[in-house]
Structure 1
Amino acid sequence: MSQPDIHYLTTPAAVQAAADAMRPAPRIAVDLEFDDMRHRYGRNLALIQIFDGPSVYLIDPLPLTNPAQDLEPIWELLRDPAIEKVFHSCKSDILLLDELYGVHVRHITDTSVQYTLLAEADNNISLGRLIQSELGLEVDKGEQKSNWLKRPLTDAQKVYAANDVIYLFELADRLTAKLEALGRAHWATEENAALETVRYTRDERPYLRIAGKYRILPDELPLFRDLYLLRDQVAKQLDRPPYMVFANDRLSELVRTTPRDLSDWKAARGLHPELKRAPYLDQLAALSADTFVPAPEPAATGEQRRFPFRRRLNGQKAAQADAREQLLLQLKAFITTDINGFVANLVLSNRLVADIVELGAGQVLRPWQQAILRETAERHSLDYGLIAEPF
């Protein structure tokens, strides 16, 4: 494959011209570089890479005065269902586009999804490894952890960014052929279509994820939450990632060994200097061990509790739920024997088993998964109807 031309675009006029050039293409390969709380606060789009066959367009949003508006010609391409968009592992990209710009990508082919459905190995292969395994090429991934918000971009970064899209057509075609040979092309069609419905939802209590990691006890959670939120407030003002205000390890230490008064806070190690100035120092003082008045954490909703459905059951209902689960595990074992364990896990992962027990296979699974489950049940004289409908 000959190397395509690489165009680096930094103006609205250049963006518009590139979009006009790409509009007749039946498909485009797409990737994003973005910073997620590594060098600045929040999630920040740093580069858009698009390949249409003849050319790679590296579209830089940072010099644009109004990126949301100036990139609208690109958003139109991404929304257009007539143009196939080929990604590798696109979920983070499409979530970012929805969160920052309200862009919903249509007609997606994800090479990571295709590879997963081959069920030859565990999920989540990197693009570099996929290029190596399918195309026999070594692609330099040395810029993977670059600061993509720093300007100017280096030549090495531009080559790296271009490599993320120029092989996607060939990969998608090879993987499609493999899936067709296995009779699984419709699996990929269903999974890729489902990606169009992925939407960003704001996590209203992000501190709970970290609290779980550090095994914060219920009576420690109010202080942990308030310190987390104060850190986030300072990070946003400074436009720095929260870890630059103070580290997660330090957050848990401050909860367990909390400064007792203002002088202790001033002497506390590992805190950004801004925290030791007004108005933040006063807020820290209010979190002191001697003065903190905890506001209780709101009760978790049913969706946030772990296994809320099974916990509500007892007696005969609990026994029926257990019977459904045992049938599903039996079917999973048969799929492992009949096809392989990778397919079995695609159809009946632990999470899917729990959801099917409550909601039924008809609501939880894609049609291709339901077909495998139904055929396996019939082959082994088991009653698919027992797990098809909601509990």
Structure 2
Amino acid sequence: MSVFQYVSDEASLNALVAQYQQSQLLVLDTEFVRTRTYYAKLGLIQAYDGKTLALIDPVAVPNLASFWALLTNPNIIKLVHSCSEDLEVFAHYGNCQPTPLFDSQIAASICGMGHGVGYAKLVETCLGEVIDKGESRTDWMRRPLTDAQLNYAANDVLYLYQLYPQLETKLVEQNRLNWLYEEGERMTVGRLETPDLDTAYLRVKNAFQLTEVQLAYLKVLAKWRLEKALARDLALGFVIKDHGLIALAKKQPKSMGELLKLNDLTEQEKRIHGKDILKVMQGADLVNLPEVVDVIALKPGYKSAFKAIKTCLTEICEQHTVPMEMLGSKRHIHEYLQWRWNKGQGELPTVLTGWRAQLAGEALAQLEL
């Protein structure tokens, strides 16, 4: 059972933050609920500096300004595990991103302990402790939180603090600590930007199937859906699902009668949004049409080019004992191939930046694609 301080008023929070500002290492975790909402509902923040393990209640203390200021203090290492969802929470509620960032899951991957290792597995491997994950699916917005919930939450930062020296030592021995911080920086890029309404259509599943005219309709529909989702804090699928938007863009109903015949929309979607949808579709710009979505996998020569890049990166991964997922994921390969086929125009692909460029840049440049 962990010893922790439960922080439920602003004075206690400010005193805690004053202490944390003096520390060199701060472990962070969050507990949240995301069911129907666009943004996760923040239920609890866990923090530990090796002296005081605190469970901060954001429901009881809505003003967390002093805590958010901690996260950007460059003198404190922020230690997290598999933090992409935590970063979303920090961006939305604190309008900030932690720096410098040390993610223990990425650290384990870089120093050869396996890719995507879960927290409980890492704790068991390094510390021999078995963690009870019984409260992982729980309602963190419910008050009061149970003792079991609080202990579960506290353990998420308690053992992470103890893991740090082992992971840091391994990274230093392999001369890869700078890789770890580079990854931390890369993960936080762009997270404070507001969602782009005009490019929302590019993130709709199967948008590549549509013609330019159909895409013009999808563009206004996806923008409208995102605006609706943000205004009502609803997950996109709870406004209208992707396949519903695709069907509307393909069939372009001009009247309520035509719209009601569409099987791809639920009766609820038709009833609540029908009139809005017809109005939005009338605003489609059919003069300045969007370009057809470019799918690299459909281009001639894709298979052989993909295979050549993958083979090259696999050899480098084996030589340097780096997981393929870190150096040459499918997304990384696609990014690089697109860049090569665009004759090096545009932003450098990830695989040609930082430590990845040092490992793979020369070998990739020699490939004939």
TM > 0.5 between the two?
A: yes
Q: TM-score, normalised by structure 2?
A: 0.74
Where do 1:335-374 residues align within 5 Å? 335-340=316-321, 342-343=322-323, 346-349=326-329, 350-351=333-334, 353-354=336-337, 357=340, 358=344, 365-373=352-360
Where do 1:3-42 residues align within 5 Å? 3-36=1-34, 38-42=35-39
Per-residue CA deviations over 1:82-118 (Å, capped at 9, x if unaligned) read 2221111223333442344332322221101201202
Q: Matched residue of 1:5: which SS?
A: coil
**In the alignment, is the contact (CA less than 8 A) between 1:211 and 1:221 conserved in 2?**
no
1:276 to 264, 271, 296: 271
Q: Distance in 1 between matches of 2:306 and 2:226?
A: 42
Aligned residues: 356
Q: Distance in 1 between matches of 2:349 and 2:323?
A: 18
Q: TM-score, normalised by structure 1?
A: 0.70
**In the alignment, is the contact (CA less than 8 A) between 1:33 and 1:45 conserved in 2?**
yes
Per-residue CA deviations over 1:307-350 (Å, capped at 9, x if unaligned) read 6xxx9xxxxxx9xxxxx99996675354245344x446644551
Q: Distance in 1 between matches of 2:138 and 2:71?
A: 26
**In the alignment, is the contact (CA less than 8 A) between 2:27 and 2:79 conserved in 1?**
yes
**In the alignment, is the contact (CA less than 8 A) between 1:108 and 1:195 conserved in 2?**
no
Counterpart residue identity of residue 332, structure 1: L
Q: Distance in 2 between matches of 1:367 and 1:272?
A: 49
Alignment-derived partner of residue 211 in structure 1: 205
Identity across the alignment (%): 23
Alignment-derived partner of residue 295 in structure 1: 284
The runs of 5 or more residues in structure 2 that have no matched partner are none
Where do 1:155-166 residues align within 5 Å? 155-166=147-158
Where do 1:1-391 residues align within 5 Å? 3-36=1-34, 38-64=35-61, 67=62, 70-121=63-114, 123-192=115-184, 194-195=186-187, 197=189, 199-201=191-193, 202-204=195-197, 205-212=199-206, 215=209, 218-232=212-226, 234-236=228-230, 238-252=232-246, 260-261=255-256, 265=260, 270-272=266-268, 276=271, 281-286=274-279, 293=282, 295-296=284-285, 331-340=312-321, 342-343=322-323, 346-349=326-329, 350-351=333-334, 353-354=336-337, 357=340, 358=344, 365-373=352-360
Q: Which moved more, 1:94-103 or 1:324-333?
A: 324-333
Q: Distance in 2 between matches of 1:206 and 1:224?
A: 9
Q: Distance in 2 between matches of 1:23 and 1:4?
A: 23
Q: Distance in 2 between matches of 1:236 and 1:343?
A: 37
Larger Rg: 1
**In the alignment, is the contact (CA less than 8 A) between 1:214 and 1:252 conserved in 2?**
no
Q: Distance in 1 between matches of 2:100 and 2:77?
A: 5
The runs of 5 or more residues in structure 1 that have no matched partner are 312-317, 319-323
Q: Distance in 1 between matches of 2:357 and 2:259?
A: 61
Q: Distance in 1 between matches of 2:208 and 2:134?
A: 32
Q: Matched residue of 2:206: which SS?
A: helix
The verdict on how the C-alpha distance between 1:345 and 1:49 changes in structure 2, with shifts beyond 3 A counting, is closer
Q: Distance in 2 between matches of 1:356 and 1:236?
A: 33
